[in-house]
Amino acid sequence: MWRPDRQDKTPLYQQIANYLEQRISLGELPPGSQLPSERKLAGQLGVNRSTIVQAYENLRASGMIESLAGSGTRVCGHLWGMEPYPNWNRYVEGGILLPNLPFMRRIREASQSGDPFINLANGELAPELSPNEEIIRIMRNQPFHEPLGYGDPQGYVPLRSAIARFLQEQRGIQATDDSILVTSGSQQSLYLITQCLLSPGDAIAIENPSYCYSLPMFQSAGIRLFGLPVNEDGVDPEKIRAFYKQHRIRMVFLNPNFQNPTGTVMSAERKAEVLNCCEQLGIPVVEDDPFSLTSFDDAAPPPIKAIDRNGSVLYIGSLSKVAASGLRIGWMAAPHAVIRRLSDARQQMDFGLSLFPQWIAAHLLESSSLAPHLERLRDSLLLRRDIMAGALHRELGNEVSFELPRGGLNLWCKINNTVKDYRLLNNGINNGVLFIPGSVFGADPGYVRLSYARSSIDDIEAGVDKFAQALRETLSES
């Protein structure tokens, strides 16, 4: 992010005014765009508010910006001497992808504001939990001789082979490199399935609550969603049957192991029943399985795909929750017809994924240090989970209740008294902590998802303290 140069002789307010003027002239801040409040911009640029007041005053005097009571400061609607400009607001409201949910946008804005938040909202691994040294070792020691043309949109063949071996060894899934599609993460697998295998108006069943609720992606594609309640055993196959009868659902999306957000694991019997039910109805199951290898028990819970004998399951996974989300490496194991269709779509979308992360991932999956890394990751996540649970018991013993997750990155926390989600989130932000209100996942009000994986280990207790403070303030307001 740009900041004024304190060594420069030009006064800070002038540097800021020049910078904003340049962005306005380049069209990066088109006429009508809202500028941050003086206080907010001062915080972002690390200067006094009076410096921003002076910079804005300067721009107002030159007719570049205007401030109207009640609506803040904007770039002037009609700038003398500027070419006619497109009305970007009209365009940005169009397109096929709906904007993200307001709560998610609010959390993202807060986390990008530069203010020092403890982030219990982000469901990624903290940087120190990734196999950074191994990745550096691969980049330093392995010779890279691959041709850098457009690759195979289905994915780099050595990576597909490594994924097939990994799935066989770690998840008991039979796959060949032909039945694997490399994606830029599970998110892209979900997107491809939605865009290429479903049509507007189709009905699907998803878990309720679920990560998928927070994906406007389904709504953008015109898909009708029906929620399967999640209990400690997972979802009820009878409910799937009922949805099929009533709404002709065409697919069932499940995250059966350490489900996001509840952390529950569908029992092995339930998995077999669900598969059986979907086979009888002739509808596919999308099994989203990013967390299973974080299991704190000796064995990771088995996937539905391991017992799929008829090709009913589209199995998706990724390196995001076990190695590094920034590598953007995911995969799908599915029948050939599906893989061919989705690879063809990749060809239209982006000609497939960049070769570099695929090359790194192929080496990482084959590396002898992967198993010890996973071992260390599980130990660290368990320690973090216990620190968070201990702090919650200590700070909020009577106010909240939760089950200890047996794996995954998140703790699903019920607030015993009634609170308004948006008030709790606001108070959280004011206290310097971020978390995700349960309604984002489709849950009734009164739940939050707290991630123990992303913030530094030292910040977990402090984050819970801040959350406790926010909750107490919210309870006293109602």
Ligand X SMILES: Cc1ncc(COP(=O)(O)O)c(C=O)c1O
Binding residues for ligand X, rule: CB under 6 A, are: 123, 185-187, 211, 255, 260, 288, 290, 318, 320, 325, 330
Q: Which is nearer to ligand X, 320 or 439 (CB)?
A: 320
What does the buried/exposed string (b/e) look like for 190-226 if buried means 16 or more CB atoms within 10 Å of the residue's CB?
A: bbbbbbebbeeebbbbbbbbbbbbbbebbebbebebb
Measured from each CB, the residue nearest to ligand X is 185
**Beta bridge partner(s), residue 66:** 74
Nearest approach, Cβ of 273 to ligand X (angstroms)?
21
Nearest approach, Cβ of 383 to ligand X (angstroms)?
21
Q: Which is nearer to ligand X, 237 or 290 (CB)?
A: 290
Q: Which is nearer to ligand X, 410 or 427 (CB)?
A: 410
Q: Which is nearer to ligand X, 58 or 183 (CB)?
A: 183
Tell me how far CA of residue 66 lies from CA of 15, 36, 38, 61, in angstroms. Answer: 19, 13, 13, 9
Nearest approach, Cβ of 303 to ligand X (angstroms)?
13
Residue 1 in 3-state DSSP?
coil
| Nearby residues of 374 by Cβ (< 8 Å), 6 or more positions away | 293, 322
Nearest approach, Cβ of 57 to ligand X (angstroms)?
44
Rg (CA), the chain: 25
Q: Which is nearer to ligand X, 38 or 288 (CB)?
A: 288
Nearest approach, Cβ of 435 to ligand X (angstroms)?
15
Nearest approach, Cβ of 188 to ligand X (angstroms)?
7
The span from the CA of 433 to the CA of 289, in Å, is 28
Cβ distance 407 to 294 under 8 Å?
Answer: yes
Q: Which is nearer to ligand X, 194 or 325 (CB)?
A: 325
Q: Which is nearer to ligand X, 13 or 211 (CB)?
A: 211
Which sign, positive or negative, has the C-alpha torsion 94, 97, 102, 107?
Answer: negative
Cβ distance 234 to 181 under 8 Å?
Answer: no
Nearest approach, Cβ of 230 to ligand X (angstroms)?
12
The DSSP symbol for 478 reads: -
Question: Residue 230 is encoded by which pair of tokens?
Answer: 């999640």
